[in-house]
Amino acid sequence: MHSGKILFSQLMDFIPTYEFLKCVERHGGNYKIKSFSCWDQYLCMAFAQLTYRESLRDIEACLRATHVKLYHMGIRGKVSRNTLAHANEVRDYRIYEDFTKTLISTARRLYANDPFGVELEQTVYALDSTTIDLCLSLFPWAEFRRKKGAIKMHTLLDLRGNIPSTVIVTPGRVHDVNILDDLLLETGAIYIMDRAYLDFSRLYGIHKAAAFFVTRAKSNLNFRRLYSHPKDEGAGIKSDQTIVLRGYYAGMDYPDKLRRISYIDKTQDRHLIFLTNNFNLTALTIAELYRCRWQVELFFKWIKSHLRIKKFFGLSENAVKTQIWIALSTYVLAAIIKKQLNIETSLYQILQILSVTLFEKTPIEQALSNLNINENMIESANQLKLFN
């Protein structure tokens, strides 16, 4: 029988504690704190994510029931509902935002060579947002509509590994297109987005940064065709054109040439029109790239199903953002462990296994790898799979 660390402690060993403490010091997280440090707060909130706790009282009850093991989990402060609520309320959420970005950097290096469906050397990102509904009377800072509250998670997803490279949390009233102003553009990268981000002045900013975009055109696009390229009608390419915008303001916002591709998606019987500033890739590759944008939709559905980001433990903006960032760090940490230990088990299964084995002393490789599961019973056909 293994007599070493419990599984939760083994899991936390993959966290670079030095980087975490740097984030805490940067934002003064432990200033005048005598007990229940930021590390204690993080461990409690990560435990809540991994075991699907529903409330602060739920967290308190579970951890106090296993109080003899708290020391082995790394928790040194006394766990109570009020203490955890106060920590979520007052300790800067940017501590956990910065730390999650550190984990993201590690994960992106690990998944840098993973395929995503299109053979390209460039980094490819999918940009989109998801809305999380909130009660406006309880969350008055999360304005969305006159009688409705919500927050948005604007996410730039690296398609190699489905790792969120940038996440921006805003009140629901913030329009998606405004997020383009906050992105740090990567030279040579390809950004895939839907029609909500069709703003020619901002798209021209991507073009001037020597990056590429792929988006869909609106039906009322006013343009002038300069010339047409050869098309592969058998592959669904109806037309491949070089165009310039004819509208006065649109022409001022984007004075350069654009590429317009008309594509028939035979699988769904849809007619799609793409706009891009990339003239090197084939028209079919552009269409396949846009199809990969669906990965960000799957990412949103996955984290809403398997992480605690729809019900919040606190009402303030700081508490909500703290919970979201710690949830994302849990997701990225699981992805890092999967890659570093070369585990074939899906990310969904990893989180399910951890949820019921955190206090066991089984070696983590054994707990996550030695599965004898009937393939016909593994998951329903509707189960979302980000990691196969």
Spatial distance between the Cα atoms of 43 and 122, rounded to a whole number of angstroms: 37
pLDDT greater than 80 at residue 381 = no
Spatial distance between the Cα atoms of 128 and 150, rounded to a whole number of angstroms: 16
**Span between the terminal Cα atoms of the chain, in Å:** 31
pLDDT greater than 80 at residue 345 = yes
Spatial distance between the Cα atoms of 108 and 159, rounded to a whole number of angstroms: 10
The 10s digit of each residue's pLDDT in 303-326 is 998 888 888 999 999 999 999 999
pLDDT greater than 50 at residue 377 = no
Q: Which residue has the higher pLDDT, 387 or 37?
A: 37
From 346, 303, 305, 347, select the one nearest 325 (Cα to Cα).
303
**What was the pLDDT predicted at 378?**
44
pLDDT greater than 50 at residue 375 = no
The 10s digit of each residue's pLDDT in 77-132 is 788 899 999 999 999 999 999 999 999 999 999 998 888 888 888 899 999 999 99
The 10s digit of each residue's pLDDT in 268-282 is 888 999 999 999 999
The 10s digit of each residue's pLDDT in 170-204 is 999 999 999 999 999 999 999 999 999 999 999 99
**What was the pLDDT predicted at 385?**
53
Q: Calculate Rg over the CA atoms of the chain.
A: 23
Spatial distance between the Cα atoms of 326 and 388, rounded to a whole number of angstroms: 24
**What was the pLDDT predicted at 374?**
45
Q: Which residue has the higher pLDDT, 356 or 380?
A: 356
**What was the pLDDT predicted at 1?**
44
The 10s digit of each residue's pLDDT in 230-273 is 888 888 899 999 999 998 899 999 999 999 999 998 888 889 99
**What was the pLDDT predicted at 161?**
87
Cβ proximity of 214 and 263 under 8 Å: no
From 149, 201, 158, 194, select the one nearest 176 (Cα to Cα).
194
pLDDT greater than 50 at residue 379 = no
Domain boundaries, the chain: 7-96+314-377, 194-284
Spatial distance between the Cα atoms of 208 and 21, rounded to a whole number of angstroms: 38
Share of the chain above pLDDT 90, in %: 66
pLDDT greater than 60 at residue 372 = no
Contacts of 235 by beta carbon, 8 Å cutoff, 6+ apart: 284
The 10s digit of each residue's pLDDT in 30-74 is 988 888 899 999 999 999 999 999 899 999 999 888 878 888 888
Confidence of residue 3 (pLDDT cuts 50, 70, 90): low
Q: Which residue has the higher pLDDT, 234 or 370?
A: 234
**What was the pLDDT predicted at 235?**
87
The 10s digit of each residue's pLDDT in 129-166 is 999 999 999 999 999 988 899 999 999 999 998 899 99
